[in-house]
A and B are shown apart, each in its own frame.
Chain A
Amino acid sequence: MDLSASLSLIAPEILLSVSGLVLLLVAGWAGDKASRWISLAACAILAACFALTAPAVCGGAMGAGADAFGGLFVADAFAGFAKLMIYAAAGAVLLIAPPYFEQYRLMRAEFPVLVLFAVLGMNVMVSATDLMTLYIGLELNSLSSYVLASFLKTDNRSSEAGLKYFVLGALASGILLFGVSLVYGFTGTTSFAGIRGALDGHMAMGALFGITFVLAGLAFKISAVPFHMWTPDVYEGAPTPVTTFFASAPKVAAIALSARVALDAFGPQADAWRQIVVFASLASIVVGAVGAIGQSNIKRLLAYSSINNVGFILIGLAAATPEGASAMLVYLAIYVAMTVGSFVAVLMLRTEGGTHTEQIADLSGLSRTRPLLALCLAIQMFSLAGIPPLFGFWGKFVVFQAAVRADLVPLAFLGIAGSVIGAFYYIKIVKVMYFDEPADVAWKDGGKAHWALLAISTAAVSPLGYLLTIWLGSLADKAAAALFLAA
């Protein structure tokens, strides 16, 4: 593999980093006045990356042709699938963020640049096939995210969220690095292929510790229970567009990364890590569901909802089959659509005075005052609860199907029973919007971009979404196949 071939494989990453630096210079030179234009330019760059990555996904790129830099980086269909979701989510965030920050007169030109760098970090994460690449990607993403979390610098809660995210993120990185060092020590290599070879057959106790610590560190990043405690605080405190970002793109990246680490590097020892994943999955479903019940802030509620959803995604990982990996990706895609849709709807809850409301109680009677918005949010909620015929059901369906086919019937039973607890708080929001008397709040209409995003996401999770299933399923199957090539 020569250098030019490697470079052509990382074209989207090159584009991201170069344009990120250029935009940073533009931002420094043109100042905050240009922040809207820079956001649009960043959106265009993400669209270009999307176009650059799409062929690899549709073509099901895998194997030697996708390896770059001697096994440090891979641009296969699996990574591509995750990247497409990341671009889409990040693009949506760039569209909704400027109006939000302008309202507080805190829109800075650095915002889109930071998002671009975070996306670059995520790209490296999902494409990593070496523990070192993995760590670099993870840190690049995390450092950008810490700044983003505290972007509303006059707001105490936002600063607190940034600090909390930083401290706990650093702790998670430490745990991860500790695990990485153990794995390296007991296998003698940092490349995933090498680790897989070394773990085949007998496994030293130390390597098991390494696997456990690596998975624990990753569990922090995907906010799986028991490493979830930062999520509600950070999601609540961070500015809403940033929360949208956190709940979608980095989650996709971290889950895809975990899947690659677990299934590729630790693939031969699936029986060893499966119990960890099964526990994290069930615990996330239950804690995510139970924790959400008492929440009065909708962002906190959605934070617990994301913990809950991670639990379902992990069921697909626990199956440790190509079908399970494919189910994870399908679920992730639907999850991103639902999450972005829900948060956009929350962002549109703007009162006449210009403040954003986050209290669930303020949604009372929304079906009377803003029927269309209430309908969209209700569809999102029923979909998150996994009630057919909405598309959220399909995600749960494929995940549970994979679990049942992998003979994990008890896990499937417990998981789906947990989903009923989750349904409670989703229908609670519907109840507040539809059954309660209207609250005395004067609403301001949302912007065009918000409506467009909400319409796209609602159409995707409505029964119309089933039209996508064949296409989505075949792409996810190709992506999953790329992951299992070596196994």
Chain B
Amino acid sequence: MLSLMLLVPAIGALACLFVEAKAARTIALVATVIDLALGIVLWANYDIGGAQWQFTERVPLFAGFQWAMGIDGIALMLIVLTVFLMPICILASQSIAKRVPEYMATFLFMEVLMIGVFAAQDLYLFYIFFEAGLIPMYLIIGVWGGDNRIYAAYKFFLYTLLGSVLMLIAMLWMANEAGTTDIPTLMAYDFPPHAQTWLFLAFFASFAVKMPMYPLHTWLPDAHVQAPTAGSVILAGVLLKMGGYGFIRFSLPMFPEASAQFVWLIWGLSMAAVVLTSLIALVQTDMKKLIAYSSVAHMAIVTVGLFAFNTQGLEGSMIVMLSHGLVSGALFLCVGVIYDRLHTREIARYGGLSINMPKYALFFMLFTMASVGLPGTSGFVGEFLSLVGIYQANTWVTAICATGIILGAAYMLYLYWRVAFGVQRNADAAAMPDLSVREWLMLGPIALAVLWMGVYPESFLAPMRADIAALDARVARAAPAGDSKLKMKAPKAAPAASAEAH
């Protein structure tokens, strides 16, 4: 089943290379829609409460490599997110005019690799998928990107490569030490604590760049701004999630002691990220850059949640990741919609769009609110759960990270105000037509998903619950004692928090 999901876009990618532009668009759309259908089948057949790893496939290949696939609830949700965003990306690529067949092939190839990352159950297989993603993304940014695309492509490539090669050495060492490359086995293997320290740092280098965490985030705004719209959606929607997925799949279960040891580092960087990047976002004049910085701030909420060492934090992080995948993807699409019409990302060039593009303004507002974390949207559920989780571990971190919500409201509402409200300053912006059918098809499904996740997150939490509980049990032995423990002694404090959340 999982191999089939990899095979469909792979065949599509090859087919795209041999046809004309128009046919390539159709092939790409069909391939991604088939994959979406397969993803829905996957979700429907996923047995909640069943075995931890489902849909497993295991074929030994060569020299210790194996084709090992399998998913748990966490991977399932991320795969569904990937296949959900892909057809939308293809639809959003209508404005691409040059070298369409290659573009579509690169995107489909990218989809293969992204699903592969989430489904891989072999250490090296994971690495190959993880690292190979650099090639298509480098080409997408470099060939179809904006004016300063070459600088951005280099920066993206080298930053992420440096992060991941260190991880390779750590993986080699781990495989040597544990005698296996099977990820589920490794997740239960206890590495000696002193080795965990540097193994953790090597993995951290990779995932922190990918995530991206605060001082290593500088590639992200450049890459986002220069990438074409669909590239930004994939980057924000799925590629950043690989970092979070890496933490949840490798760093936490494999090195719990080291995770606890470096918790100050993660918290410190996350706090810095929430406050600083939010402030930076506030002064941006480029829409894409603003959303890119907001991504860094949201990802920081993910990392504090992950490293809260409790169920709420982990569940919250997962929901933030899924929600951010949808919301920031949708926001980039919203930017793309007006960029296609006016070919500028300058916020000042727009204004009063709610007058001539009311439907667009409605969608844009929904996603803005979801990004801010308004109750009823997906953003609220995730951020609330994460902060509840971290509150049990450290109140100060919670206090600082919670300012991110306020600052987030500030920069997002400020952006929305400048773009959608006010007077229509520019005649050309005022003359832009409202959403086309294609754009409805892009934004509509995401809006529904965002509301669904906001109103009934249980659908998304249920498949992950058992896996998160298992992870929580795994890291419990290293969990740092929280400074709010004293207050937590009040009976039913924790159940009340989780009941509210659901």
Q: Which residues of B contact A470 (CB under 8 A)?
A: 62-63
Q: Which residues of A contact B169 (CB under 8 A)?
A: 400, 404, 409, 412-413, 416
Asked if A419 is at the interface of the complex by the 8 Å CB criterion, the answer is yes
Asked if B150 is at the interface of the complex by the 8 Å CB criterion, the answer is yes
Interface size on A, residues (CB 8 A): 29
A420 touches B63 (CB 8 A): no
Q: Which residues of B contact A413 (CB under 8 A)?
A: 166, 169
Contact digits for B385-426, partner A, Cβ 8 Å, 1 yes 0 no: 000000000000000000000000000000000000000000
Name the CB-closest residue of A to B145: A435
A387 touches B176 (CB 8 A): no
Distance to closest chain B CB from A407 (angstroms)? 10
Within 8 A of A (CB), among B408-461: none
Distance to closest chain A CB from B21 (angstroms)? 15
B149 touches A387 (CB 8 A): no
Main secondary structure on B side of the interface with A: helix
Interface-lining segment among A110-118, A232-240, A345-353, A423-431 = A423-431
Q: Which residues of A contact B134 (CB under 8 A)?
A: 387
Interface-lining segment among B23-31, B151-159, B214-222, B326-334 = B151-159
Known: A409-B169, A423-B157, A466-B62. A435 touches B149 (CB 8 A): yes
Q: Which residues of A contact B165 (CB under 8 A)?
A: 416-417, 419-420
Q: A389-B128, A400-B169 are in contact. List 15 more A-B contacts (CB 8 A).
A: A387-B135, A387-B161, A388-B127, A397-B168, A404-B172, A405-B176, A416-B165, A416-B168, A420-B161, A423-B158, A427-B157, A430-B138, A434-B139, A435-B143, A435-B153
Name the CB-closest residue of A to B61: A466
List the 6 closest A-B pairs by CB distance, nearest first: A388-B128, A404-B172, A416-B165, A469-B62, A470-B62, A420-B162
Q: How far is the CA of A93 from the CA of B149 in the complex (A)?
A: 39
Q: List 24 A-B contacts (CB under 8 A).
A: A382-B135, A387-B132, A387-B135, A388-B132, A389-B132, A397-B124, A398-B63, A404-B172, A405-B176, A412-B172, A413-B166, A416-B169, A417-B162, A417-B165, A420-B161, A423-B157, A424-B154, A424-B158, A427-B157, A430-B139, A431-B150, A435-B143, A435-B150, A466-B62
Q: How far is the CA of A420 from the CA of B156 in the complex (A)?
A: 12
Q: How far is the CA of A100 from the CA of B196 in the complex (A)?
A: 56
Q: How far is the CA of A435 from the CA of B98 in the complex (A)?
A: 12
Name the CB-closest residue of B to A405: B176
Q: Which residues of A contact B61 (CB under 8 A)?
A: 466
Interface size on B, residues (CB 8 A): 29
Distance to closest chain B CB from A400 (angstroms)? 6
Picked from B63, B142, B157, the residue with its CB within 8 Å of the CB of A434 is B142
Q: Which residues of A contact B124 (CB under 8 A)?
A: 397
Q: How far is the CA of A417 from the CA of B166 in the complex (A)?
A: 7
Name the CB-closest residue of A to B144: A435
Asked if B173 is at the interface of the complex by the 8 Å CB criterion, the answer is yes
Q: How far is the CA of A413 from the CA of B150 in the complex (A)?
A: 28
B63 touches A473 (CB 8 A): yes
Distance to closest chain B CB from A228 (angstroms)? 23
B153 touches A431 (CB 8 A): yes
Q: How far is the CA of A431 from the CA of B162 in the complex (A)?
A: 19
Q: Which residues of B contact A400 (CB under 8 A)?
A: 168-169, 172
Q: How far is the CA of A419 from the CA of B158 in the complex (A)?
A: 10
A427 touches B138 (CB 8 A): yes
Distance to closest chain B CB from A305 (angstroms)? 17
Within 8 A of B (CB), among A262-287: none
Q: How far is the CA of A423 from the CA of B134 in the complex (A)?
A: 12
Name the CB-closest residue of B to A423: B161
Q: How far is the CA of A387 from the CA of B134 in the complex (A)?
A: 8
Name the CB-closest residue of A to B127: A388
Name the CB-closest residue of B to A418: B165
Asked if B131 is at the interface of the complex by the 8 Å CB criterion, the answer is yes
Q: How far is the CA of A313 from the CA of B449 in the complex (A)?
A: 52
Name the CB-closest residue of A to B138: A427
Known: A401-B172, A412-B169, A466-B62. A431 touches B127 (CB 8 A): no
A416 touches B128 (CB 8 A): no
Distance to closest chain B CB from A285 (angstroms)? 12
Distance to closest chain A CB from B177 (angstroms)? 10
